[in-house]
Structure 1
Amino acid sequence: MASSNDSQHTLPGQEEDLIVEAVHERYGDPSTSRFRRVASKTLVSFGPDDPENPVNWSQKKKFYILMAGMLQVMNSTIGSSLPSGASSFIAKYFYITNQEQLVLPISMYLIGYVLGPLFWGPMSEAYGRKKPMLTSFTLYTIFMMASAVAPTFPALLVFRLLAGIMASAPNAITAGLFADIHNDPTKRGRTMAIFMACTTLGPIMGPWVSGFVSVVSWRWSFWIGLFFACATLPLIVFLPETYGPTILQRRAKLLRKETGNQSIVSPLDLQNRNLKETLWITLTRPVRMIIHESIVSFSCLYISLAYAIFYLYFEAYPIIFQGIYGMSAGVSGLCFLPIGVGAFIACGIFLWYDSFLAKAKARGARWSQIEEYRRLPLACLGGPSYVVSLLWVGWTAYPDVHWAAPMLSGILFGIGYMLIFMATLNYLSDAYETFAASAQSAGSCSRSIFGALLPLAAKPMFNRLGVHWACSLLAFLSLGLSIIPFVFIRYGDKIRKNSKFCQELLRLKEAEAREKRRDMSDETCASAVDSLPPKEVAVSSTPVSQPIDRDIEKQLDA
């Protein structure tokens, strides 16, 4: 309710009548929407129980958003590995004798993962989540179909690149999508755990699907991917917009139309960027975060190596299970399934730790109040697991050792891989919050570079070093980087204090706290009045997904 002693927060009477009438007609309760004066403008924001605020949506609606996001991510990741089981058939059809060229259909797709997040993630922060998701996924289905009918190998590579660019959108946007509907770090973390399981399950489905259907034709690998994409496309068509600033922008536009008051604006409207400035910020912020933010750069380095080794497995497993054990492409693709089992075990570990942490906080345990302990201990467990799994698969892959021995190493590999990713990506989201989509885009871009390039060296490396020492080399590299989460636990607080982005987030939180205290004071004063006219409107509260102001944004992106 409006303060009686602070006129700058009270709308002029005539304007207030029109706005409150429009709010009451559309939302039922004027208190669901909040306003405040900014110079000559009336700034609209969410009220505490606003039905259009995504964090207040029903669990049913949030579940729909969760399922839609997960299935789009699975579409994206299945598409990445579809050529794996069909590589020998593609080689025969296009008369390819160079083994390194057969890695290119996967590598080109992952190069698309490099380019896409630089655009899709920040654009979702500027224009909302739904439009980029729907546009990219529609084009993805078109390029998947084009891959299925590609007349030449170069054409196939071009279509794979374009499909990868479009498929990168769910990976870049989904983390922001979940952050929009869950402002509680615990719920957000659990949702991200399921998200990461889908990013692991998708790629391991590709090799065995394509391995079996490619016996008919290698083109069926991509037709299957297209059918799956078309089946899930309607979920995006009916996906509601979840980005708070975009919802408020639409509300302000609607209120301007209904009231005729052109001074009503949203926080996004106040940014007033030109096209050049928008493109500069949205395309360069992830790169700038990698360069200038230590948390982002070292997190990206660690997850990039883990991700690259995961995709290198799509070249290594055929060498091991087809070369050493004589399996067919389809059967050897089934050897990836233990990795999926390990990924879901890791989800269970994550949920157990989440519950353990919550109980520690309830007891007031000192260690549980430290930000880095919320996520990173899982990465400290995942790192050694990852190293051991690489040594396991390398040193049990002998013709006289049963094939189950190297195959079962995938369980530990999946556990380690998932714990590293869940911990690190959640840490990025928690550390950067408002900038989570850009931080996640930086991570997606960097790991895709590694994922595209390292598999190109797989066959030369395995041919020269052999399976045993090639896997050992990867294990030693992973061991060296596994110290990163330990360093963050020890020095993370100091690193965040020297971060421009983290300090700006702290300033925004302090401003939000001041607004809430002022609201409480206003409501206390208002409660002393016996009767209030129905036109009183609540003072502003900072939106959940409030964008930073233009001057600060220029400083951060300078």
Structure 2
Amino acid sequence: MSTPNSQPSSRSSHSLVATEKPLHWNDPSNVLNPFNWAQSKKWRVTILACFMTFVVQLNGTMMTSAAEQINSSFDMSDEHFPHSYWPVFSWNLGGAAAPLLGLPLMENFGVRRSYMAIHLVLIIFIIPQAVATNFATLIVTRIITGSCSGILVNITSGVVSDVWNAGRAKSFGTSLYICSLLAGLNMGPVFGSLTVHYTTWRWIFLAQIICYSALLPVIFMLLPEVRPDVIAKQANRAGAGNEVVRFNFGESSAESKTLRDIFKETLIRPTRMLCTEAVVLSFGLWSAFCIGIAFMFTQSIVQVYGELYGWSFFGTGLVQSAIVIGELIGLITSLYQDRLYFLSSKRNTKNPGQPVPEARLYLSVPASFVGLMGGLLFFAWTSYSTIPWIIPSVALAFVGFGMFCSTAAVTTYVVDAYAKYAASAVAGIAFLENFMAALLPLATQSMYRTLGFNWASSLLGFIALALSFIPLVLLKYGKSIRARSPFMSEAAYEKS
């Protein structure tokens, strides 16, 4: 018998499948099925995947704190345009495109081996960034590292879904993943500022090489395979020479997909859903705005705190930790949001016992209006040199709270409402997120200079106000909207 924190031995696997009758994969006695793993093992895998999401996301924004040093090294200037932001721009483009094809292929070949291979490629392509002798090297190699990061980060949601059945644990695991994703982006400038304060910009990448290399054996030892079909195939191959019985998946088994199927699910269907599904498009814009704000702050906070308080990149990098404080508060309040969601099952007359998808949005309404919109307006009109720096920093925490709750609402609602089509819907939304994250920061510097600190942040607040009505519309008309959607109505039919 295997221990709760270890993989079943080949002997236990052999005895499991060497039966007189085919063993159904979903049999409660099947210890190879991730759903049947011990709770401690499930949380180990979930926390590891979320921690890796946090660490990998640092690669996206750490270098923003080294803009001055990078400009000096390559004889550039950000006076008229943020040229130092091009490597971050290319990182986001890679992160937008690569997961569309990378994630399905990764799931077909197995998460464990693919994760380690992509993580190794990430390390290899950070090396030329650390020793770059020209700016073009940074831009080109950052496309590759952005692609690797995008795949590694997005697969975490798949890992959570593969090890947890629907319930409170899966909901919190998803919230922990979203918090890790956002916190990694916002803590990048914090760690970057600490690095360049004591060393040079090259140590931002050298530190990443050291850290990611040290984590490679941790992944090897602690991350098991989580894809059910891959685990079963490995078990069947292991016992093939002993004439053992193969796993019987039943009619709902996941079979290997052809390249045509992958192309359809990763490119055609997400594009179609973005164009025809109002929920996917509106939620995509809402979530993309939140992610875009995270990247815009790497520019705007430098301008605001630098000009008002005379802070260097060191101070402006550290202050962004206030956003993460707000996100952690959001993670704690997500426990209450989950409680409201599961209580909604008592009011579901169509599918008794099943929570209502719109119940995922309850917390996002005050969070978006008060946190996201209110925080941006609060930040806008406390951006005066006569006001202590701590006041606008509190506003940043409000924004972080709103960002987390809004992004969590988008992800969890889409997963619930679209069911088997959720992967395609999330892929379309993720593309919008990375696209906005790439473009919005390029306009930040000129926007804050042209409109001024107060009205530039106010403009963002007004956009947040418009987007904050999206969950209200779904709360009122969600049932009829789901009924008219061919994707959501089919998902609801299969659940009933």
Considering the TM-score relative to the shorter chain, is it more than 0.5? yes
Contact 1:245 1:268 in 2 (8 A): no
The 3 A distance-change label for structure 1 pair 240 and 499 is: farther
1:137, 1:166 within 8 Å by CA — same for their partners in 2?
A: yes
Measure how far apart 1:464 and its partner are.
Answer: 0.5
Q: Which has the higher contact order (CA 8 A, sep 6+)?
A: 1
Alpha-carbon offset, residue 412 of structure 1? 0.7
Whether 1:407 and 2:387 are equivalent positions in the alignment is no
Equivalent AA in structure 2 for residue 250 of structure 1: Q
Q: How far 1:165 moved relative to its partner?
A: 0.4
Aligned pair in 2 of structure 1 residues 507, 199: CA closer, same or farther (>3 Å)?
A: same
> What's the counterpart of residue 70 of structure 1?
50
**Aligned 8 A contact 2:415 2:422 in 1:** yes
Equivalent residue, structure 2, for 1:229: 212
Of 301, 321, 326, the residue aligned with 2:310 is 326
Q: What is the aligned counterpart of 2:375 among 367, 376, 389?
A: 389
Contiguous gaps of at least 5 residues in structure 1: 1-21, 36-44, 511-558
Match of residue 179 from structure 1: 161
Alpha carbons of structure 1 residues 283 and 152: separation in structure 2 relative to 1, 3 Å: same
Partner of 1:513: none
- Over 3 Å counting, the alpha-carbon distance change for 1:26 and 1:293 in structure 2 is farther
Larger deviation, residues 383-392 vs 349-358? 349-358
- Unpaired runs of at least 5, structure 2: 1-10
* Aligned with 1:501 (options 481, 484, 487): 487
Distance 1:128-1:456 versus aligned 2 partners, 3 A rule? same
CA contact (8 A) 2:60 2:146 kept: yes
Say if 2:335 is the partner of 1:351.
yes
Distance in structure 2 (CA, Å) of the matches to 1:349 and 1:428: 20
Greater displacement, 311-320 / 63-72? 63-72
Q: C-alpha offsets along residues 121-144 of structure 1, whole Å, 9 cap, x if unaligned?
A: 332443332233222211111112
Shift of 1:366: 6.0
Which one is further off, 489-498 or 334-343?
489-498
Name the CA distance, whole Å, in 2 between partners of 1:307 and 1:262.
45
| Alpha-carbon shift at residue 173 of structure 1 (Å) | 1.0
Whether the 8 Å CA contact 1:176–1:437 is kept in 2: the answer is no
SS at match of 1:145: helix
Q: Tell me the amino acid that sits aligned with residue 295 of structure 2.
A: Y
* Structure 2 residue 11 is the aligned partner of structure 1 residue 27: no
TM score, norm. by length of structure 1: 0.79
2:174 maps to what in 1? 192
SS of alignment partner, residue 34 of structure 1: coil
Q: Do the aligned residues in 2 keep the contact of 1:300 with 1:446 (CA within 8 Å)? A: yes
Q: How many angstroms does 1:92 deviate by?
A: 0.7
Measured after TM superposition, the shift of residue 166 of structure 1 is 0.3
- Give, in angstroms, the shift of residue 270 of structure 1: 8.2
Structure 1 residues 174 and 434: alpha-carbon distance in aligned structure 2, compared to 1, 3 A threshold: farther
- When residues 76 and 33 of structure 1 are mapped into structure 2, their CA distance, relative to the original with a 3 A threshold, is farther
Trace 1:275-354 onto structure 2 (pairs within 5 A). 275-354=259-338
* Deviation of 1:159 (Å): 1.1
CA distance in 2 between partners of 1:286 and 1:357 (Å)? 27
Task: Give the SS at the match of 1:82.
Answer: helix
Aligned-pair distance for 1:298? 1.8
Deviations 1:279-307 (A, max 9, x none): 44444443333233333222111100111
Q: Does residue 1:53 correspond to 2:33, yes or no? A: yes
Report matched runs for 1:468-479 at 5 Å.
468-479=454-465
CA RMSD of aligned residues (A): 2.8
Distance in 2 between the 1:268 and 1:147 partners? 46
What is the alpha-carbon distance in structure 2 between the residues aligned to residue 453 and residue 469 of structure 1? 20
Residue 5 of structure 2 is matched in structure 1 by none
Shift in alpha-carbon separation, 1:484–1:132, aligned structure 2, 3 A: farther
**Contact 1:24 / 1:30 at 8 angstroms: preserved in 2?**
no
For 1:100-125, what per-residue CA distance to the aligned partner results, in whole angstroms no more than 9, with x for missing partners?
Answer: 21111211111111112212233244
Aligned to 2:7: none
1:375 aligns with 2:341: no
Change (3 A) 1:416 1:257: same
Offset of 1:460 from its aligned partner? 0.7
Distance in 2 separating the partners of 1:380 and 1:186: 21
After TM superposition, the score normalised by the length of structure 2 is 0.88
Query: Is 1:118 the equivalent of 2:118?
Result: no
- Measure how far apart 1:359 and its partner are: 5.3
Residue-by-residue CA offset, 1:356-404 (whole Å, 9 max, x unaligned): 444565xx45699662343111221221120011111111111111111
1: distance between equivalents of 2:99 and 2:336? 32
The code of the aligned residue for 1:324 comes to L
Cα distance, 1:33 vs structure 2: 5.6
**Contact in 2 for aligned 1:71/1:232 (Cα 8 Å):** no
Identity of aligned residues (%): 25
Q: What is the distance in 1 between the residues matched to 2:21 and 2:297?
A: 52
Residues of 2 paired with 1:263 and 1:415: CA distance?
Answer: 45
Match of 2:234 in 1: 250
Query: Match of 2:126?
Result: 144
Q: 1:205 corresponds to which residue?
A: 187
Deviates more, 1:122-131 or 1:174-183: 122-131
Correspondence for 2:200: 217
Contact between 2:229 and 2:255, CA under 8 Å: does it hold in 1?
no
